Amino acid sequence: MRRGLATLILALLTTLPAHGASCSWSAKMEEDEGGSVMTASVCGGSKGDAHLMLACFGKPVLSYDLGAAGGQLEPGISGSFTFKAGGKSLTKKLELEAMYNYFTTELSGPTDPLLALLRGKGDVTVSADKYGEATFPLKGSGAAIGKVLAECGKGSGGEAD
């Protein structure tokens, strides 16, 4: 999974919106060593340089890029991040993918409570005492996340609808 995640993150670095671009959810196929991987992503934060990304490597994997606010983080660290949306709050431990400076977590599957929160309306705020907070719009998240979940469990890539 790590190798596929690293390749996906590299692909995302070249396709994420530039500063000032509109931040909205999208889902599209990204190339990975094992084939194509459906990936949902959104930008946010005060400068639009923070990102949430969801891909499927057997199970859904959520990645959180702190953007410029993150700086260069120490390898091997993790953090507890609180996701707040629609009057609900959920705290999840995320591990640093040091090569790309992103925090990631494997979710339990399509019914994971965090996915339910991210498919809500309004905005989601992601915060951690040590790393501050960033807000992301949820408009379009349900459709984008649905596309990723539809690809989960289909086996190797290259089977886009």
Q: Which CATH superfamily is domain 2-151 in?
A: Invasion associated locus B (IalB) protein (2.60.40.1880)
pLDDT for the residue 98: 81
pLDDT of 155 higher than 70: no
Question: Hey, what are 138's tokens?
Answer: 């949820």
pLDDT of 131 higher than 70: yes
Distance CA 123, CA 120 (A): 8
CB under 8 Å to 141, separation ≥6 — which residues? 25, 40, 42, 118, 119, 120
pLDDT digits (tens, 9 = 90+) for 70-118: 877 888 999 999 999 999 999 999 999 987 789 999 999 999 999 999 9
Whole-model pTM? 0.81
Domain boundaries, the chain: 2-151
